[in-house]
Chains A and B, each alone.
Chain A
C-alpha cells in the first residue's frame, strides 16, 4: 500500500509541478522536508530517553503489568493475539491515555515503546501484525479531550467562543476511531493482506528456479 501511495505522491508532484511551472518549489520542498524529518527525529531523542527511562522503572515495579490487568476486558477483544498481561498492553494504555490528555510529548514515546513490545511478539519482523494495525487504528482516531493547538489559534484570532469546537471534535474523533478499528479488524481477514510466510516465498523462489 505504501509503495503505491509513496510513488503516487512523488510522481504526481513532479508531473503537476512541471505543468504548473513549480518544479523549483517541488525541489526545494524535497530538501526542506528531508531536513525537517531529521530535525523531528533528533528532537525526539531526549523526550524518548526520558519516557523510556520512566517506563523501565514502571515495568520493574510491576505498574505496567497492573495497567494491563485493569484493561483486560477490553484488551482481550481488541488484541486477541497479545497475552493479556503482556507489557505491550500496559504501554498501549499509557499511550492512549497520553493522547486523550493531549500530552503529545509523552504520547509518541509511549506509543513507540508499545510498538517495540508488539514487535517482540512478531514472528515476521518486517511485516505488521494484526495487533500493530489495530493499535495504529486506535492512534489515527486521536481522541483528545482538549484540542489545545486549534483552540490556541482560535484564541489568537479573537474567537467569541474558542472552545466551542471541543464537543464536535470529540464526536468526530470518536467516530474516526470506531471506524478505523472496525475497518482494520475487517480488512485483516482479506486475502490481499495475508501475511506471506517467509517459507512460502523461499519455496516459490525454489520452484521458480
Chain B
C-alpha cells in the first residue's frame, strides 16, 4: 500500500512540476519561454565546471578499487566488525558505500547472487545500498559546481553520517530479519 502510494507519487511528481510551474508563472504574466531559455543557458557551464573535480575523485577511487587494497582493508578491520555482528562477507559493501555507488551495487548484487536476495546478507547489503549517498561523489560534484576547493568539515561530517547509516542498517536488519 505504502509502496503503491509512493510509486504513484513518484510517477506524477515531475510531470506535475513541469505543468504547474509554467502555468502559475504564465498567470502571473511571466514570459515563460524566455525565462526558461534564460535559465537553461547555465546548464552547460555547470556541467563542464564539475569535470576536473569529478576526474580527481573518480580516478583516485577507481585506482583504489583496481589495486585490491579493499581486501587488505577488510582483513584489518574485520575483527572489529565481527565483534559487532557484521558478517565478514558484507564488509566490502559497507566500506565501498561512501566511495562508489556503482561499486557498492556491484558488490551487493554479487552477494545476492551467491547468498540469495532473501538471505540475511542479501537483505543487509540491500539496506546498506540505500542507507547513505556516495559522499565523495556528492562532495566532488556539489562543491565542484561552484568552484569550492576547501571543503572544511563537509567530508568528516558526511563520513560520520555514512558510518551512522551503516551501523543503523546493521542494527535494524538484525532486529527485523535475524
Interface residues of A (CB under 8 A from B): 1-2, 5-6, 9-10, 12-14, 16-17, 20, 22, 25-26, 28-30, 32-34, 36-38, 40-42, 44-50, 52-63, 98, 101-103, 106, 108-109, 111-112, 115-116, 118-119, 122, 125-128, 132-133, 135-137, 139-142, 144-147, 149-150, 153-154, 157-169, 171-173, 175-181, 183-184, 187-188, 190, 193, 195
Inter-subunit contact B147/A56 (CB<8 Å) = no
Please tell me if B80 contacts chain A, counting CB pairs below 8 Å. no
Inter-subunit contact B60/A13 (CB<8 Å) = yes
Inter-subunit contact A126/B21 (CB<8 Å) = no
* Mask of B19-48 contacts with A, CB within 8 angstroms, 1/0: 001101100101010011111111110111
Name the A residues within 8 Å of B146 (CB-CB).
Answer: 115-116, 118-119, 122, 125
Inter-subunit contact A115/B130 (CB<8 Å) = no
Please tell me if B83 contacts chain A, counting CB pairs below 8 Å. no
Inter-subunit contact B25/A16 (CB<8 Å) = no
Inter-subunit contact B165/A172 (CB<8 Å) = yes
Q: How many A-B residue pairs have CB under 8 A?
A: 372
Inter-subunit contact A176/B161 (CB<8 Å) = yes
Contact status of A34 and B36, CB under 8 A, knowing A126-B148, A133-B152, A166-B3: no
Most buried by B among A32, A163, A168: A168
In which size bucket is the chain B interface?
A: 35 or more
Report Cα–Cα, A165/B173, bound state, in Å. Answer: 9
Contact status of A139 and B133, CB under 8 A, knowing A49-B43, A133-B152: yes
Inter-subunit contact B142/A111 (CB<8 Å) = yes
Please tell me if B81 contacts chain A, counting CB pairs below 8 Å. no
Q: Can you name 20 A-B residue pairings with CB atoms under 8 Å?
A: A10-B60, A29-B66, A37-B51, A44-B43, A53-B39, A61-B24, A112-B145, A116-B145, A132-B142, A133-B153, A141-B165, A142-B130, A146-B3, A149-B129, A150-B126, A154-B112, A175-B165, A181-B161, A184-B153, A184-B157
